[in-house]
A and B are shown apart, each in its own frame.
Chain A
Amino acid sequence: MNHLDLLTFARGSALNWALMIFAAGVVLRLFEIFGLSRKPDLARPRSDSPGSGWRTMLSRSIPPQGMLKRDPVTYIGGYVFHLGLLLAIFFFAPHIEFFRSMTGLHWPNLPTALVDASVVAAIAALGVLLAHRLNNKVKRMLSGSGDYLAWAVTLLPLLTGYMAYHHLLFEYALMLSLHIFSVELLLVLLPFTKLFHTFSVFVSRWYNGDFFGRKGVAS
């Protein structure tokens, strides 16, 4: 199999399989969560804060007062990584082209230099966050193999994407194939690791916001 065949496989059946496992995995995990259900809260809520659950989905992205100072590495590293990843996935011209080919939807892209810089920043942030995880006694205690696996499979698409774009290490078609494979690996593992927070974070934040909102504590 030459590099072009490999690329065809990566873009073809491998991608289809990965997307299927990803979709099925996400649906399964959501069923696992929502299938448990919960009892309705019979306590009369305060009326001070309707919609608190929905607001908390966004507002929890902002550190509560005093928290940024307590662990700036986690907060700033977290912001840089998430933002960099988001820009790279959704605003890199070739990615938008890919989404257009898949769904017909498209949107304006960001200048390539900016996406490039955001990828470098995201990779650097991942490095800093790993060092922090290994150095901070709380994080180190909480971490297991799943945490390091999640870190690695998140890094790989960023790294291979950067290398493919800059024609580093391997011939372009091979590097691009590796990039696509790494994305597929990420897609397959996402529903079954802590990376599922990509979806569940909106559920958990909603419940938290609803809970505090019912009690009249704006969250």
Chain B
Amino acid sequence: MSATLAKGINSFKEVIDTPIASYFSSCVHCGLCAEACLFYNETGDAKYTPIHKLEPLRRVWKQEYTLLGKLGKMLGLSDPVTDAELTEWEPLVYDSCTMCGRCSMVCPVGNDITYMIRKMREGMSASGHAPEDMIGATARAVNIGSPMGIKWPAVQAQIKHVQAETGIEVPVDKQGADYLVLMSSMEIINFPEYLSALSRIFKQAGVSWTLAADAFEATNSGIQIGASDLAREIVSRIVVAAERLKVKCVISPECGHAFTAIRWEGPNLMGRPFGFEVKHILEVLDGLHAAGKLKTRGKDKRPLTYHDPCQIARRGGVVAQPRRLLNEVAEDFREMPDAGVMNWCCGGGGGVSANSRAEPLRLEVFKTKKRQIEATGVHTLITACANCRIVMEEGLEHYQMKVEVLGLTELLAEYLVEGE
């Protein structure tokens, strides 16, 4: 289907619901959301004020769903949303918003601005105003099965490698396993340590798990670009596989938006609740640890800090788990300023890292993360999102900082008590 302005406006009309109407009704233009925004804070440019990024959506709400707005429209007094305007807004909605959710936490009238950006992107993509790179990633996710174009043979190659390295069999398509493990493309390409660490931890904990050949990819470009039909198609692969294999729980990998896509948006995209649980890997590991099934020995002597991925912590509620786990294996764990639910985004969430046009801005706003890390004085940074990890590695390199970035699962595996 070709994208047109009319489709975009229709889509805006469709996504506007009671929460959005209450949000626009409540906004008093206080501008406090700007103070919470990574992009405004680093650049000082007023156009990055979060609520301003929604201006076209707000006008559609006003013109279509309020009496005064409708009267204005009838009398020709209103200012219709145009293609030129949406072109101007595209970088505001995609390049300078990672849907990190900080603004939604501080808005004094309670506006969930992030929720509105997510919805607005539906109309932006329907009207042909999504970034080229994100359109490409979404097409690959739908046609090939992964936004980075990875196919099952690449995963198989990694499985072989992991099996050779650990001597542990990686189960594939195992009926009746307790857990279905998903991965992100980033982990398959850049961080094979994840699968290796997981195999070892699960073997030691006696966990029954499996991969699925037709549903290994956890990421979902559809929710980033704002195309619910495609997001549904991508998430349905996981749901179908989980139901076919009759697993009790699907494990979302170290990836932020994948967790949002499966855990929170998934059932709504599918239009039905899931018969299985969805957990982030840190929740699973924390549960194993609490049950005494995840035993570690020794502690990492390096001073280290933890970066909360936005979709895992602020938008996902996984905050205490990484801290409990880190305290098991780290001798000198230091919190960065604003850690936890008010942590600052790495700058590459919400599809920004997949959008090459946004790269200069992304590197500029990384200065916030740089300051946070510097405040802790550490040279080891732990996180639980492969996208945050690659974005931070690029940022650290750009600013020539000598900081190593590790996934938490991988760090735990380093101190795992094995074979006892």
Partner of B29, one of A194, A207, A212: A194
* Per-residue contact bits, chain B 28-46, to A (CB 8 Å; 1 contact, 0 not): 1111101110001000001
A140 neighbours in B (Cβ, 8 Å): 46
> A217 and B26: CB pair below 8 A?
no
Known: A136-B31, A197-B25. A208 touches B107 (CB 8 A): yes
Cα–Cα distance between A138 and B110 once the two chains are bound (Å): 19
> A216 and B317: CB pair below 8 A?
yes
Partner of A33, one of B25, B29, B40: B25
- The answer to whether B17 has its CB under 8 Å from any CB of chain A is yes
> A67 and B268: CB pair below 8 A?
no
- The answer to whether B49 has its CB under 8 Å from any CB of chain A is yes
> B19 and A43: CB pair below 8 A?
no
* Per-residue contact bits, chain A 126-147, to B (CB 8 Å; 1 contact, 0 not): 0000000000111111110001
> A219 and B105: CB pair below 8 A?
yes
* Per-residue contact bits, chain A 30-71, to B (CB 8 Å; 1 contact, 0 not): 001110111101111010100000001100110111110011
> B17 and A38: CB pair below 8 A?
yes
> A42 and B22: CB pair below 8 A?
no
Partner of A201, one of B31, B52, B109, B316: B109
> A138 and B46: CB pair below 8 A?
yes
A36 neighbours in B (Cβ, 8 Å): 16-18, 20-21, 65
Cα–Cα distance between A78 and B108 once the two chains are bound (Å): 10
- The answer to whether A205 has its CB under 8 Å from any CB of chain B is yes
- The answer to whether B314 has its CB under 8 Å from any CB of chain A is yes
Partner of A196, one of B25, B47, B105, B106: B25
Most buried by A among B22, B47, B67, B112: B22
Q: What's the least CB distance linking A138 to chain B, in Å?
A: 4
A192 neighbours in B (Cβ, 8 Å): 68
B46 neighbours in A (Cβ, 8 Å): 137-138, 140-141
Q: What's the least CB distance linking B309 to chain A, in Å?
A: 13
- The number of inter-chain residue pairs (CB within 8 angstroms) is 160
Question: Which residues of chain B (90-116) have a CB below 8 Å from chain A?
Answer: 104-112, 115
Cα–Cα distance between A32 and B71 once the two chains are bound (Å): 14
Partner of B65, one of A32, A43, A78: A32
> B104 and A208: CB pair below 8 A?
yes
Please name the residue on chain A nearest to B264 by beta carbon.
A43
- The answer to whether A203 has its CB under 8 Å from any CB of chain B is yes
B109 neighbours in A (Cβ, 8 Å): 60, 197, 200-201, 204-205
- The answer to whether B341 has its CB under 8 Å from any CB of chain A is yes
Known: A33-B21, A37-B18, A200-B26. A217 touches B110 (CB 8 A): no
Q: What's the least CB distance linking A152 to chain B, in Å?
A: 15
> A142 and B51: CB pair below 8 A?
yes
> A42 and B272: CB pair below 8 A?
yes
> B35 and A42: CB pair below 8 A?
no
- The answer to whether A172 has its CB under 8 Å from any CB of chain B is no
Cα–Cα distance between A208 and B17 once the two chains are bound (Å): 14
Partner of A141, one of B52, B68, B108: B52
> B111 and A143: CB pair below 8 A?
no
Q: What's the least CB distance linking B158 to chain A, in Å?
A: 30
Known: A201-B110, A209-B110, A217-B341. A33 touches B31 (CB 8 A): no
Question: A-side interface residues toward B, CB under 8 Å?
Answer: 28-29, 32-34, 36-39, 41-44, 46, 48, 56-57, 60-61, 63-67, 70-71, 74, 78, 136-143, 147, 192, 194, 196-197, 200-201, 203-209, 211-212, 215-217, 219
* Shortest beta-carbon contacts, A-B, top 7: A216-B317, A205-B110, A208-B110, A138-B31, A42-B267, A203-B22, A200-B25
Question: Can you list 9 A-B pairs, Cβ within 8 angstroms, ordered by A?
Answer: A36-B20, A42-B267, A42-B270, A137-B46, A142-B29, A200-B26, A201-B26, A204-B22, A212-B105
Starting from the known contacts A64-B106, A207-B22, 16 additional A-B residue pairs (CB-CB under 8 Å) come to: A32-B21, A36-B17, A37-B18, A38-B18, A39-B17, A42-B272, A64-B105, A65-B342, A142-B51, A200-B26, A203-B22, A207-B23, A208-B107, A212-B105, A216-B317, A217-B313
